[in-house]
Each structure stands twice: as C-alpha cells, then as structure tokens.
Amino acid sequence: SAKEKGKNMYEFYHNYLKEKNPKQLSLEADVRKAVKEKQFEIFYQPQIGYANGKMFGVEALLRWNHPKEGLIKPEDFIAIVEDSELIIELGEWVLSESSKQVKSWQEQGCENLYLSVNVSIKQFFHHNFIGKIKEIFEETGYNLERLDLEITESLAIKDVEYAKDIFDKLRHLGISISMDDFGTGYSSLNHLKNFSIDRLKIDGSLVRDIEHDEKARTIIDTIIVMARNLKLLSLAEQVETVEQEAYLKSIGCNEVQGYLYSEPLTGDDMGEFLANNYNASLLNRVDVS
Ligand code: C2E
Ligand code: MG
Ligand code: MG
Ligand code: MG
C-alpha cells in the first residue's frame, strides 16, 4: 500500500541519513534554501597569457555564503548539489550572473575580456542544455565569442558520441571549450582526436609537483607539446611559485592561472583589480634562460 511504501521510504531515508555526518546532513538540507535565498556568490580568478603577461579572462568559481558555516568552497558542497537536480538551476544561475558581471566589465573598458564557466555533468547531459544556453545568453546579451566552457574529460567520455555533438553545437554558437583537470582522468589521445575543443587546462596536481618530480615535468612537457601540435591552447592551473612559472614558460605553456597572480576575487574586488591591472603585465620577472 501507499502507506507501507511511505513507511519504507521513511526507513530508507532514516538509515541513509543516519550514516552521514551531521554537518553534511545540514548542508544537504540547506542547499535548496540557499538557491532560493541567493546565498551563492561567484568569485573570479584571472587567466593570464604568457605571450604578453596580460590578463585576458576570468574563471567564475562558485562560493556559498552559508549563514552558519561562513564561506564554503565548492569541494565541500558541489558533489552534494551535483547529486540532485539543483545543479541545473544553480548552473544556470552561474552562467547568467557571471555573464552579466563580465559584460559590465567589458562595457567599462575590458572589451575583450573572456569568461570561463565550469559545467557539471548533469547540466551538460541535460536534454535542453543547448536551448538553455541560447536562452540565457539572449537574455543577458553576452557575446558568445567571449565565452569558454570548462568541461572535464571524465564527463565528456560518459557518452563520447553525444559529447562530440554538444561540443560541435557549442562551437557553432561561437563558444570555446576547455578540457578541465587534464592529466588526471583517462586522458586518452583518441578522445582529443574526436573532440573539437580549444584548450587543455593542465591539472593543478601536476603543476604542484613541478619542482620536485621529474616525471610530473615530463608529463606536463608532453601535454604541452601535444596541445601545440593539435593546435590547442595550453593553460596551467594552480600556479603558485616562480619556479613553476619559470618551468612552464620555458616549455612554451600558453596561459596560466593561480595564486601566484591572484586568488579568486569577489566581483567587487575583481572590478577594482581590472581597473588597475587589465593592461598591466601580471607576470613576475623571471629569468628562464
Ligand atoms: P577547477 O575548475 O579545476 O578550478 C580550479 C580550482 O583551483 C578552484 O578551486 C580554484 O580556487 C583553485 N585554485 C586556483 N588557483 C590556485 C592555486 O594557486 N593553488 C591552489 N591550491 N588552488 C588554486 P575551487 O574554487 O574550490 O573550485 C573547485 C572545483 O569546483 C573547480 O575546479 C570546479 O570543478 C568546481 N566548480 C567551481 N565553480 C563551479 C561552478 O560554478 N559550477 C560547477 N559545476 N563546478 C564548479
Ligand atoms: Mg575549471
Ligand atoms: Mg581544473
Ligand atoms: Mg579541479
């Protein structure tokens, strides 16, 4: 009976919830409310080109201003959100908010500024993903030639044929595609042959090991050579030290992102940062000879 079913469901959730730690439990319960009450905030981190040392874009990174826990990073909630349909709503909110913000910076003198946005698996494989993208950007009036979507390889290979088709449709709209966290997943060369993408983002876990692990250096070097030969851009993420920068420069990495240049900033702080630094070189003067 329905009543029995209800009781079983109750027992199921009861047991399921019991196994989670209280903190995670209350986070889960708070997500829906947080979406409604706009407790989420977008931070922006500069992306810098090695050719001239200048910032050309920003990556939108989600933060949660939790009323009790304070500022929470995605690692502590994104998996929970991605487990539910809420990620669709939240992902759409990120696209809409960040594009409005970056458009206003473009109008204030940073005409060519790029926006990079992370896309989660549920969003990407949602049947109306392309339709939603069109709708959101028609509404915000954002130039899609200045939009980059960051997609992880492990996401794309869940359904290679479907992903290929979505990539093609996105690129047809003028959107660029970056393969995020490259070097950590399957990194199959065959996929790179199949997918029409624009950029490889080399994962921070490889960058972190540059100074003390020759194998990490060799892998990064190989990724960059391969990217160049496939006519893809390469970006190293989570660059923290001048030694890492010197190495990346010496092997011809195209772009960088990391605390060495700037942490992710609030919209207000990024606005100020752009006003002072948009045309300045952000690279440290490192002798790579
Ligand atoms: P990601 O896209 O690979 O983002 C890079 C992460 O590295 C960010 O963590 C960033 O704050 C951090 N980072 C940047 N520079 C440095 C550095 O020099 N050192 C170190 N140690 N870390 C650095 P964050 O903001 O915590 O985001 C973590 C992940 O959450 C992101 O990884 C992305 O996969 C996901 N994420 C963030 N925002 C969104 C979003 O709006 N939607 C979706 N679906 N996922 C998001
Ligand atoms: Mg990313
Ligand atoms: Mg990444
Ligand atoms: Mg990552």
Query: Is the pLDDT reported for residue 18 higher than 60?
Result: no
What CA–CA distance (Å, rounded) separates 186 from 62?
26
Span from the CA of 250 to the centroid of ligand 2 (angstroms) = 24
Q: Which of 250, 210, 256 is nearest to 233 (CA)?
A: 256
Query: Is the pLDDT reported for residue 12 higher than 50?
Result: no
Range of weakest confidence among 35-39, 161-165, 228-232, 251-255 = 35-39
pTM of the full predicted structure?
0.90
Span from the CA of 180 to the centroid of ligand 4 (angstroms) = 7
What CA–CA distance (Å, rounded) separates 43 from 269?
9
Atom of ligand 1 nearest to the CA of 91: 42
pLDDT score at 289: 44
pLDDT score at 105: 97
Q: Is the Cβ–Cβ distance between 175 and 141 less than 8 Å?
A: no
Span from the CA of 204 to the centroid of ligand 4 (angstroms) = 7
What CA–CA distance (Å, rounded) separates 88 from 41?
16
pLDDT score at 136: 97
Beta pairing partners, 214:
none
- Which residue has the least CA distance to atom 19 on ligand 1? 238
**Structure tokens of 7?**
């009781």
pLDDT score at 10: 47
Range of weakest confidence among 41-45, 86-90, 173-177, 198-202 = 86-90
Pocket of ligand 1 (CB under 6 A): 45, 60-62, 73-75, 78, 91, 94, 118, 120, 150, 180-181, 204, 237-240, 258-259, 264
Mean pLDDT of the chain: 88
| Best probe residue, ligand 1, of 118, 149, 207 (max atoms within 8 Å of C-beta) | 118
What CA–CA distance (Å, rounded) separates 61 from 75?
11
Query: Is the pLDDT reported for residue 272 higher than 70?
Result: yes
**Structure tokens of 18?**
């019991």
Residues in the chain: 289
Q: Which of 199, 182, 213, 187 is nearest to 255 (CA)?
A: 199
Q: Which of 79, 93, 75 is nearest to 34 (CA)?
A: 93
> Does the model's ipTM exceed the 0.85 cut?
yes
Q: What is the pLDDT of residues 140-186, one digit of tens each?
A: 999 999 999 999 988 888 899 999 999 999 999 999 999 999 988 77
